[in-house]
Structure 1
Amino acid sequence: MVKVYRASLTPVSVAGALFLSAHAWASPLETAHEESKERGARETKRPRPDSHPADGTTEPGSVFSVDEERLIVRGHGFNTMHESVGLSRMPQDVMHTPQNINVVPQALMRQQNVKSLDEALRNVPGVTASIGEGAGGMNGDQFLIRGFQAQNDIYEDGLRDFGVYSRDSFNFDSVSVIKGPSSEVFGNGTTGGAINMVTKTPGLKNRYAAEFTGGSGSYYRGTLDINQKLDSSTAFRLTGMGDEHNVVGRDFIYSHRWGVAPSLAFGLGKRATLVLQYMHQQENSVPDFGVPVVTKPGAAYGMPITEYGVKRTNWYGTTSDQNATNDNMETARFTYKVNDHITIYDDLRGGQYYRTFAASKATCDTTCVNTYFNGDPAEALVARSGPNGAGDGSGPGTFQAPLPYQQRSWSVQNVASMVANFNTGFLRHQLVAGFDIERVSDVRSQSTYLNPKPYASLVDPNPDVGNLDLVPGDMNPDGLVSLGSLHAKSHSSGYGFDTGLFLFDQIWLRDWLSVKGGFRWDRWQTSYNLTGGDVEKNPDSHFHDVSGVFNPNVSLVVTPDARQTYYFTWASSTTPMGMYVTNGSVPIRPGSNSFASPETSQLYELGAKYSLFHDRIGATASLFRLDKGNAVNMDPVTGEVQGSSDRQRNQGLELSVGGLILPGWNVTATYALYDSHTTYSATAANRGKNIQYVPHNQATLWSVYNAFAKTPYNISFGGGVTWRQHVWLNAANTVRVPANLDFSAVISHRFGRHWKISMNGYNLANRLNYQSLFANRATPSAGRMFLGEVSFTY
C-alpha cells in the first residue's frame, strides 16, 4: 500500500520531521491493515525476489522516496515483522510465527557495511562465536545460540550448509536466527536455535550495483550485483566478491577470499517458478586460535593472558599454519501453485567442500604462569601444539593437536513440502507436510610434522619456526594423535544419512485464536571409520549408529488484530550421536550410555510481537525456559566431544525493537537477560554453576539519521553500541572473559540518484574485546578501524 502526500523540497528540520511523521502516522491506512491481517494469517510466501530499490533512489530499507513534487511512504526495512522467514516449511511471516525470531535485514547490513555472517550475527543477542578445537581442527563459522552449539544448524534458504568455512555476506539478502528447538522444522539439532541466510535471487527489474571498500588493516574489498530481466518471467542475477585484509590489532593474521554466485529464475509471477543457483567461495587465510587463558596465582578465576599486560597483537601460531577452503553449492528451488489453496515446494541442493588446515593453539601451563607472574616475564614459554607439549617432562611437540589435515566433504539434500489452506466446517487450517532426505559424507587425511614445534615466547612470540617437515600421517604413525580411547590414525571417514517426515497444522478456532501443532520423525544413520597408521599396533576402528527420533511441538496463538500477536510455545529437539559429520573431531566414539543417548531439549516460550505506527516500528518480547538433557561437552585438552549426564537450563527475557522513529531516522535495539545454570551434573561442584558462554546481560543499539534528503548537501550519520557482560568459559566457572563493549559509527553522502560515499568506524574506543571463545583460550577482537566505501547503483 502506497500513500502519496504533496510536499515541497526544502531541507527537513527536526520540527518539520516531527510534523511529517505525525501527519503520516495519523493518516487512515485501515484498508492496508485489513489486507495485512489477511496476509499475515493466510499467506504462504517465498522471500521477495529482489528487495533492493530498482531505481537506486533510496537506501535499502528507506521509508521515503522523494521526487520534485511527491513524498512517497513505502514502509520500512528495519521493521521485520512482516518479513518472510525464508523457507517454505515456515510459511507465516515473522510476526505470525510463534517463536522468537531475530532478523538482520539488508538495510541494517548495508549501513553497518557487514561483510560476513559473523558480523551480521553480532546484532543478535544470545549468539556467541566459538573456536572449534581438537585434532579435527574445526574452525570457520562456529556459533552458539543461547549457550548451545549451533555449528550444525546453519542453513541457506532453508537447506543445511554443511561446510566448515567463514561465510561472506556478498550474497545475503537477510539473516534470521530462529531461537529455541526447531527439530520439527529443521530436523535433528537446533537445541539453541537455527541460523538461516536468505540469498539474493533474480527479480524482474534491471539493476546494476557495485561497491568498493578500503581502509585500516590493508583492507581492500569489491562486490558486484547485476540483475538482468531476460523476458517477462525470466531473470538472471550475478553477485561477486573479492576481499583481502589483515586484522587490526592481531599480528600476522590475514584473509584473502573471493566468491561468485550466479542465479537464474524462470516463471517469475507464474504458477510454476524455478530458481537455479550456484555459489562458489574460496579463501586462503591464517587461523587465529587466540591467546591462552591463565589463572594468576592467588586469583579467584582465570582470564585471557592479555588481561595481564601481554600485548593483544601477540599471535602464537607458526608460518606453517594455513586455512585454505574451496566451497561450492548448487541449488534448485521449485514452487508450484496448484490452486488458491495448495502450493508445492521442492528444494534440492548439492555441496562440495574442500579444505586444507593447519593451526597452532598455545598453552601456558603452570611453569609458564609462574615464570610470567613471579619470575622474568621474558622467559615465560608457551607450547604451540598442546598442553602436553610443555611442563610435563616429555618435551615440546610430543602432543601436536590439532594436526594438519586435508578434508573433502560432499552433501546432498532434498526437501519437498506442501502448504495447504482449507476449511473443515467453521475451522480454518494451514497444513504443512513433507519429507526431508539428506546425505553428508566426509573424508580426512591427517599429516604430521617430523620436527616438533618449538616453544614460543609468551611476551614476544616469533612465528618463523623454519621447516617442520610436514609428511603424510602414514609415513610417521608415531606422530599421530590419539583422542581419548580412540587409536591414533592417519585417515578418518564418516557419513550421515537422514530421512525425515514432518506434519504440522495450524487451526483457527476463531479469527483471533489458533492452535498450531505437529511433529517430525527422523531416522538418522551415521558411520565413522578410523584407518591407516600402524595397523598392527592400532587396529582400524569402525562405528555405526542408527537412531529414530520423534519431535513434537504445540503453540497457542492469539492475534487480536493485524498489529499484535501473542503466543505460547512448547517445542522439543533431539541431537543424536554423529550429527557433526563435517565439523566435529570425533562424531562417534565408544563411551558411556549417556554419550550413546542423544541430547534432548525442551522449550517453553511466552511471547508478544507488535507492528506499530502503521508498520513503521516492530517490537518483540519473549520469556523462555530452555531445558537440555544429556548435555554434550568438549574436552578442553583434546577437543573431542564427550557425553555427560548433565542437565542444563537457560531461561530469560529477550526484547527487540526496529523501525522508524522519525522520517529518515531508523533504530534497531535488542536486549537479553539470561539466567543459566547446570541443574544436575555428575561433578557435584558444577551443579548450580552458569552455563558456558552465556552472558547474564547482553544488548545492542544501532541508529542512523538521514538529514537533508534529496538535496546536494544530504548526509546520513549515526552509530551504535554492542555490549555483552562477562561470560564463563567452563562448566566449573573457574575461567572467564571480561565484558565486551564496542562503539561503531557511520557517515555517508549521496551524489544524485546513483552514487554514494560512506565511512564506517568500528571499535572506536579501541577496547580489548574478545569475540571467539573456548574453554582455555580466547581470540581478541579487531582494534579500532575505519573503512571507506564508494558505491553506485543503476
Structure 2
Amino acid sequence: MTELAAFIATETALATSGDLLPTSRPTSSIFDTQSVLDAPRSVTVLTPEMLKRFDIQDFDDLGKIGSGTQQTNYYGVPGSPILRGAIGGVYFDGLQRAYQRNEMPLSFGAFESLDVVKGPAPSHFGAGQAGGYTNLIPKTPYFDRRRTVLTTEIGTDDHYRAQIDTGAPFLLGDRPAAYRVSLTAQLGGTPYDRVNNDFVSLYGSIKVQLASDLTLFTGAEAFRFKSNENAGWNRPTQQLIDESRYVIGEPINIASSAWDGRANRDAIYTNTALVVPAAIVDAAAASDRMTPAQRDAMLNLSDPADRAIAYAGFSAADLATIDQTSSGYQYTPAYFAAGGTVFTTPISAGTVLASDEDFADADNLLYFAKLVQQRASGATLTGQFLLDYIHTNKISTYGYAVSTDQLVLEAKITHQQSLDWLDSKLTLGASARHTHATLLQDFFDEPFSRRDITRPAVSANSVIPVGSQTDPNGVNFWSPTSQGGANAESRLWQTSLFGYLESHPTDTLTTYLSVLATHAPYRTTYPDGVDRIAADDPARDPVSDEKNYTSFSFSPVWAVTPQTRLYATFQYGTSLDPIDGGAIVGKGNFAENQLEEIGVKMSLTEDTLFASLSAYQWEQTAFSVRDNAAQELEGRGVEFELTYAPSDTFALIASVGHQRINRLTPLGFRSIPLTEEQWALYGGQLTNNFSGVSAAPGYGPYSRPDSNPNLEYPGAPQNQAKLHAQFALPAGFDLGVFLIWSDAYWHNFDRTMRLPATTAIDARLSYTTDHWDIALHGTNLTDADVFYGAEPVFSANTLLTKAPGPGAKLVFTRRF
C-alpha cells in the first residue's frame, strides 16, 4: 500500500503542478527532468495557469508572452511557432511531430502545458528546426479522484467554444490506473470577413502502473479543422499602412463560359490594368479632381473603340465566351503621364482577401505511447512511440491550392544510468523514424491582387480555377514544375544513435554533452495526379540517396550561488527543413545550424522572483521551395524575461527582446513591391521579379536591393517589450493588464513599407470561487494600429495584415 500511495501522490502532483512562476514545475524539454533554473537554454515555461490567463490557444498567441516569440501571418493558419524570427519545431513529450508550415493550426486539445525553447533542439532530440521548438506536455490522467472541468466561451464576431475535460482513477486488476478524456469544439467566427476557424478535437489517454517498476502512458487525439485562409489585404503600399487607403478596381472581365464562369486562367496576363467604376471617375471629373484630358487618357470601356483596344490581345474564340466589360475607365500609362492619380477608398482591418468558396480543411490523428521501467540498478529504461498523420486540402479562389498527406512513425528507446564514480548521469538511446509525405501544389500563378476586396461581393472575374479543378480540356492545374518546386512525394528513414552526459566536475559546475549520429536514406519521386507533366517526363523518375549527419552540443552551467546560474551553449548540428507538407527533395533539405548562447538565470526572494538574461547568435541554411535550394541565414539577439509573484495578490511578468537576422544568400524568385500607380497598371498579375516590372529608383536589383544591401530580414519587430500585471481585487475578483510594445520595423526586404511602432493593450477581469470562475478577456482595447509581419520572401510584397480592433470574450469554467 505504501508503494501505491507514493505512486498516486507523485502522479497527482505531476498532473496539477504549475502556477505563474517558471520554477513551479520541472521541465524535461532540454535534458532530463530539471528546474528551468538549471536548464542551459533560454526557455519560456507555460503552465496551465499561464495558458489560461494569457488565453493562449494557438501558435499565434505565443506572441503574447516571452521574448523571441512573434505573431506573424502566414496566410492565417499558424501551423508552426515563429521563434527568434525563424520557423520552430514542435515536439510532443520529447518526440518530434509532423512538420508543417501552415497546412493547419496545431491542435491545443491534447496538452495542458508547454515549454518554448529558443534555438535548435539539443542534439539528442534529432534534426529539428533552427528557430527553436515547443515541447508539448500531454494531458495527464488524475490518480487522486475524479476531476471534471467544463469550459464555455462566447466572444465577439460569433466566436463559440466549449470543452469538457474529465478524468478519474480506476483499478486495472489490482494495479492503479487512471484515464483522461478531453473534447473541444469551436465554431469560430473571426474579425475578418469570410474567415472562420472551426474545429473539433477528441483526446483520450490512460496511464497505468503495470508493475511496481513499470508504467505505461498512452493516448490519442483526433482533430478535424474546417476553415479557410486569412490572406490579409492585397495591394500593399505605405499609403495603405499609414492611411488605410486601398487601390480600387479590377481588370477587364475575363470570366468565361468555357471556364465554368470563372476567369480564363490562360488570359490573366493579357491586360492587367485595373478598371475604375464610371460613376467614380465621372464624379472626379465633375469635382475637378481630374481634368477632362486625364479622363480621356483612360480607356472608356463604354466606348466600343476603347473596349476593342482593351480586348485587343484576346483571340476571337476567347472573346466569344466572355461578357466583355462595357462600363468603367481603365488605367493607362498615358493617364499617369498626364498627371492622373490613383483612385482609392478607406478599408477596414476585417476586409481581407477571402471568399465563401475558400477552404483550408485538415484532419490530424496523433497516437503516442510511453513505457518507463525503473530498474533495480537505478537505471531508467524508456520506450516511446509516436504516430502523427496529417491530411490537408486547401483552395483559395484568388489562385492557390495545396493538398498534402503526411505520415510520421517514430520509435525511440533510451537508457539512463547514474555513474556515481564519475558523479555523472549518462543517457544513451536509439530511434527509428519514417516519414512518408505527398505534396501537390498549384504554383502556376497567384494573382493575389486581381480581386478588389472592397467590393461587396466576390466577382467571378477574380475567381481563378486552381488545383484539382480543370480547364476546358479537363486538365487539372497542379503545377508542372520540377520536383520540389511545387510537388513531391518522399519517403525518409532516419535511424539515429544518440546520447547525452550530465557531469558535475565540481560542486558548482555542471556540464551537458549531447551527440547524435544519423543515417538518413530517402527516396523521392513525382507524385501521381499532375496532369500537366507527361507520363514519360524524366522529372517523374524517382531519386534515391542518403544523408549521414552528426550533431553536437556542449553546455556548462555554473552555480554562482544556490539561486544564480551562469550558462553557455555551443551547438553545431543539422536541422531538417522540408518543403510544405513535410516532403523532402534532396540533401538541401538537411540544413546546417550553429548556435552560441550565453545567459544568466536567477531565482530570488524565496523563489518569488525568476529572471533570465541571454545573448545568442546562430547560423543556418533554410530551404526555399521557390528556388529549390538551401539559403544561408544568420541571426543574433538579446532576451530578458522576468516573473515576480511575491503574493497571491500581485504578479508581474515582463520580457524584453532584441533580434536581428540577415540573409547571406542573394534573393531569388520572389514577389516584388509596387507603388499605387503600378498596382493600378499591373494589379491583375502575380508581381514577381521575372514579370518585367522595373524596380523603383533606388530599390533594385531585386536579388539584393540597394535599400537593404545586407539583406536584413523584415517581417518581425527587432525590438519588443511585453508586460503583464496581475492584481487581486476584493470579493474574489482578479484583474490582469497586458501591454505589448513593438518598435517600428520593415515589412519587406525592399524597405518600401515600414510598419509603425505600436502599444497594444489587453485585459482580463475574472471572478473565482472554489468550483467555478468566469473571465472577461478584452483585446486591443485602445484600437491600436497593430500590423502582423508577413513571410518576407513571397508574401510581404503581395499581402498585408492589420490586427482587428477591440474585441471581447467571456469564458465560464465549472469544476466538478
TM-score, normalising length from structure 2?
0.73
1:356 pairs, out of 372, 378, 393, with: 393
The separation in 1 between residues aligned to 2:430 and 2:10, in whole angstroms, is: 21
CA distance in 1, matches of 2:445, 2:578: 33
Partner of 1:793: 815
Write out per-residue CA displacement over residues 23-61 of structure 1, whole angstroms, 9 at most, x where no aligned residue: xxxxxxxxxxxxxxxxxxxxxxx99666565xxxxxx85
Change (3 A) 1:204 1:553: same
Residues 234-281 of structure 1, C-alpha deviations (whole Å, 9 max, x = no match): 111111111112112x11111211111111000199421111111111
State whether residues 67 and 641 of structure 2, in contact with CA within 8 Å, keep that contact through their aligned partners in structure 1: no
Task: Give the letter for the 1:149 counterpart.
Answer: I
C-alpha change, 1:724 and 1:471, in structure 2 (3 Å) is closer
Task: Tell me what 1:414 maps to.
Answer: 411
Provide the C-alpha distance between the structure 2 equivalents of 1:680 and 1:352, rounded to a whole number of angstroms.
34
Superposition deviation, residue 125 in structure 1: 2.3
1:497, distance to aligned residue in structure 2 (A): 1.7
Distance apart, 1:102 and its partner CA: 1.1
Work out whether 1:627 is the aligned partner of 2:622: no
1:513-534 per-residue CA deviation (whole Å, 9 max, x = no partner) reads: 1222231112223333224424
- SS in structure 1 opposite 2:423? strand
In the alignment, structure 2 segments of 5+ residues that lack a partner are 1-8, 248-343, 668-702
Q: Which residue of 2 aligns with 1:148?
A: 86
Q: How far off is 1:188 after superposition?
A: 1.4
Question: After alignment, is 495-504 or 81-90 more displaced?
Answer: 81-90
Where does residue 746 of structure 2 map in the other structure? 728
Q: Partner residue of 1:568?
A: 568
Give, in angstroms, the shift of residue 757 of structure 1: 1.6
Secondary structure of the residue that 1:194 maps to in structure 2? strand
Asked if the contact 1:78/1:667 (under 8 Å) is kept, the reply is no
Cα deviation code 1:359-401 (max 9, x no counterpart): 25xxxxxxxxxxxxxxxxxxxxxxx33xxxxxxxxxxxxxxxx
Q: Which residue of 2 aligns with 1:38?
A: none
Q: How many residues align?
A: 657
| Mapped partners of 1:451, 1:416: distance in 2 | 46
TM-fit CA distance, 1:601: 2.1
Whole-angstrom CA distance in 2 between matches of 1:128 and 1:155: 19
Q: Residue 284 of structure 1 aligns with which residue?
A: 226
Higher normalized strand content (fraction of residues): 1
In the TM superposition, what whole-angstrom CA distance separates every residue of 1:597-624 from its partner, at most 9, and x where no partner exists? Answer: 8432221111111111222221111111
Code of the residue aligned with 2:654 in structure 1: it is A
What is the alpha-carbon distance in structure 2 between the residues aligned to residue 302 and residue 527 of structure 1?
Answer: 51
> 8 Å contact 2:728–2:735 — kept in the other structure?
yes
Q: Does 1:235 align with 2:178?
A: yes
Which residue of the partner structure matches residue 772 of structure 2? 755
1:460 corresponds in structure 2 to 455
Instruction: Establish whether residue 500 from structure 1 lines up as the match of residue 496 from structure 2.
Output: yes
% identical equivalent positions: 16
Structure 1: how far apart are the matches of 2:611 and 2:56?
23
Instruction: Give yes or no for the alignment of 1:115 onto 2:152.
Output: no
Q: Is the 1:347–1:414 Cα contact (8 Å) retained in structure 2?
A: yes
CA contact (8 A) 1:622 1:655 kept: yes
Q: Aligned-pair distance for 1:570?
A: 0.7
**Structure 2 equivalent of residue 160 of structure 1:** 96
SS in 2 for 1:749: strand
AA matched with 2:414: S
Residue 185 of structure 1: how far off its partner (Å) = 2.9
**Are 2:484 and 2:628, in contact at CA under 8 Å, matched by a contact in 1?**
no
1:693 to 715, 718, 730: 715
| Correspondent of 1:433 among 428, 433, 439 | 428
Alpha-carbon contact 1:312-1:768 (below 8 Å) kept: no
Q: Which moved more, 1:170-179 or 1:120-129?
A: 120-129
| Preserved contact between residue 595 and residue 617 of structure 2 (Cα < 8 Å) | yes
**CA distance, structure 2, for counterparts of residue 114 and residue 660 of structure 1:** 20
**2:370 maps to which residue?**
333
Kept in 2, the 8 Å contact 1:188–1:574? The answer is: yes
What is the CA–CA distance in structure 1 between the aligned matches of 2:187 and 2:594, rounded to whole Å?
A: 43
CA distance in 1, matches of 2:11, 2:656: 28
- For residues 57-96 of structure 1, what are the structure 2 equivalents within 5 Å? 77-81=19-23, 83-87=25-29, 89-96=31-38
Q: Secondary structure at the match of 2:805?
A: coil
Partner of 1:377: none
Q: Which residue is equivalent to 2:190?
A: 247
Gap change, CA 1:220 and 1:560, over 3 Å in 2: same
SS of 2:638 mapped into structure 1:
strand
Measured after TM superposition, the shift of residue 715 of structure 1 is: 1.0
Question: In the alignment, what sits opposite 1:366?
Answer: none
Shift of 1:210: 0.8
Q: Provide the rounded CA distance (Å) in 1 between the counterparts of 2:348 and 2:228.
A: 19
Between Structure 1 and Structure 2, whose CA radius of gyration is higher?
2
Match 1:526 to one of 522, 525, 528: 522
Name which of structure 1's ranges 696-705 and 463-472 shifts more when overlaid on structure 2: 463-472
Could you tell me how far 1:447 is from its partner in structure 2?
8.0
Q: Is the 8 A contact 2:150 2:814 kept in 1?
A: yes
Partner SS state of residue 510, structure 1: coil
The alpha carbon displacement at 1:482 in A equals: 4.0
Query: Which residue of 2 is the match for residue 294 of structure 1?
Result: 236
- Cα deviation 1:650-691 (Å, max 9, x = unaligned): 222111112413332122211112243346758565543422
Query: Could you tell me which residue of structure 2 aligns to residue 70 of structure 1?
Result: none
Task: Report the RMSD for the aligned CA atoms in angstroms.
Answer: 3.6
Distance 2:525 2:617 in 1: 38
Q: 1:538: Cα distance to partner?
A: 4.6
Query: Residues 107 and 450 from structure 1, CA distance in 2 versus in 1: closer, same or farther, beyond 3 angstroms?
Result: closer
CA deviations over 1:743-780 (Å, ceiling 9, x no partner): 111111124x2121221111112223233622322333
Alpha-carbon shift at residue 296 of structure 1 (Å): 5.3
- Tell me the distance in 1 between the aligned counterparts of 2:622 and 2:245: 26
CA distance in 2, matches of 1:201, 1:597: 35
Match of 1:714 in 2: 732
Q: Which residue of 1 aligns with 2:803?
A: 781
Pair 52,142 (structure 1): closer, same or farther in 2 beyond 3 Å: closer
**Structure 1 residues 48 and 697: alpha-carbon distance in aligned structure 2, compared to 1, 3 A threshold:** farther
- Superposition deviation, residue 319 in structure 1: 2.8
Structure-2 change in CA distance of 1:469 and 1:179 (3 Å): closer
What is the DSSP-based 3-state SS (H/G/I as helix, E as strand, rest coil) of the residue aligned with 2:50? helix
Match of 1:191 in 2: 130
- Name the residue aligned to 2:635: 650
